[in-house]
Amino acid sequence: MRRFILSAALSLCCFPLLFAQELKTGFFLENNVYSYKINPAAPFEEKPYTFFAVGLGNVSATAMSNLGVSSVLYPTASGLVWGFDSDVPTDKFLSMFAKDNIVLPQVNVNLLSFGHQGEKGRFNFELNLRSDNYFYLSKDFFSALKVGLNEGLKSKSGMYSFQNLNASSSNYLEAALGYSHKIGDMITLGGRLKFLMGLGAASVDINNFTGGANEAGDFVASTDVDVLIATSFLKVGTEMVNGKELYDFTTMDFNTIGINGYGFGADLGITIEPVHGLTIGLSALDLGFINWNSTVNGKIKYDLQPIDTVEQGLELQVAPASAAIKKLNYNIHLSAKYRMPFYEGLGVGVLGTYQKYFKEARIGMDFTPFRAISLALSGAYNNFGYDFGGALNIRFPGVNLFLGLDSIYFEMTPQFLPVSRGITNATVGMAIAF
């Protein structure tokens, strides 16, 4: 069973150092060669250009959460303690959590990219390594742990429950081919087609859990859990126990990582310039799915069953075979940019983002004194709070350097962890551009 827990953790964190949103502050830059990542119909630059990058040409890492260090660590006279400690009042501990607590880490690593913009058309090709992850923890989960670990274990009484604890991870290669075209002087249409190759995925959905001590003082529990692991580097056998087919993780074997699913996706966009200097855009990104070949597709379900060991509580029964089709985490952007009539090097704009778990409105401005340098600053309000960002793009003949942040923290621990909450989107990249 320990090997099972290890394998699940490996699948959930298949590429931990590498959820994926593009740098939104970069949208406001005037000379960003990767502007098509926010809208495949992004406005054309005045002069044609070609770019090329191999290996880490554009790396975007995102970590969003409404949880911070102050949610789980508390200062006491003897030092920092976990919020689950009996010295921390229950009301104070639970006041630090929202009803819905979400952690969204994502990564997009560009392995290869090239493209060209002409007078009326622009094409691009990319090969990316992506990791999209999602963790949801309800406030009831923290309440059940806090009360159960302190009052429940001491008194050996009471039942504690929570619902809807979810964790999922999808890791895949993405080959994307894009093209955009200007229609007249006002409209630009663009799109990207994507072929997706799945490397590994995992999901754990605890639909409900109730546990505690019965009248005899024994620990009993009821739960309904769905588990999916899809990866080529793991093989697990099964065994029959009391008429039930269970996964036998003592027979688990590891192989090399390979393709374990395929899918398709698309980005669509349009921009309109109703008057000179004003550009209005709409885009929908990551519309698609991956069909995974599941390695483990099981369920843990029992009702007020006495639990004597951890292994007994984690008996995973083989579920009926079904297609493991996972939708991509789509993004919808609505934007507007305006170049100042008195100075072409100064612009302002607004960018709205809608995602299943993330909504944001961001305003920004850019300063581009000449084609080689563009600097952008932005401020945003989203469902995680307020944020401020900055981005810089430097393009000289033969080289393009890009870096930026969508969030700048003012209150952090010495270990650079956010105190109250966390939302970071950092992007850095380099390309050959001419």
Is the Cα torsion angle 91, 139, 62, 83 positive or negative in sign? Answer: positive
Which residue has 């809208």 as its token pair? 39
411 burial level (CB within 10 Å; 0-12, 13-18, 19+): exposed
Mean pLDDT of 331-344: 95
- Provide the pLDDT for residue 16: 31
The domain ranges of the chain are 2-433
The 10s digit of each residue's pLDDT in 274-332 is 999 999 999 999 999 999 988 888 999 988 888 888 788 888 999 876 668 889 989 99
Specify the higher pLDDT residue, 150 or 244.
244
What is the C-alpha to C-alpha distance for residues 277 and 279, in angstroms, rounded to an integer?
7
Residue 408 has pLDDT above 80, yes or no: no
What is the C-alpha to C-alpha distance for residues 357 and 276, in angstroms, rounded to an integer?
36
Q: Residue 38 in contact with residue 387, Cβ under 8 Å?
A: no
Mean pLDDT of 96-103: 86
Q: Residue 22 in contact with residue 269, Cβ under 8 Å?
A: no
Identify which of 115, 143, 141, 139 has the alpha carbon closest to the alpha carbon of residue 127.
115
Is the Cα torsion angle 156, 159, 160, 164 positive or negative in sign? Answer: positive
Q: Residue 283 in contact with residue 39, Cβ under 8 Å?
A: yes
Per-residue pLDDT band for 29 (boundaries 50, 70, 90) equals very high
DSSP-assigned beta bridge partners for residue 200 = 171, 231
Per-residue pLDDT band for 5 (boundaries 50, 70, 90) equals very low
Query: In 3-state terms, the chain is what percent helix, strand and coil (to 5)?
Result: 10, 60, 30
CATH of domain 2-433: 2.40.160
Q: Considering the entire predicted model, what is its pTM?
A: 0.84
The 10s digit of each residue's pLDDT in 253-288 is 888 888 999 999 999 999 999 999 999 999 999 999
Two tokens, residue 42: 């992004």
- Comparing 113-117, 127-131, 291-295, the range with the smallest average pLDDT is 291-295
Identify which of 374, 380, 322 has the alpha carbon closest to the alpha carbon of residue 345.
374
- Comparing 17-31, 192-206, 278-292, 360-374, the range with the smallest average pLDDT is 17-31
Mean pLDDT of 389-416: 78
- Provide the pLDDT for residue 77: 73
Mean pLDDT of the chain: 84
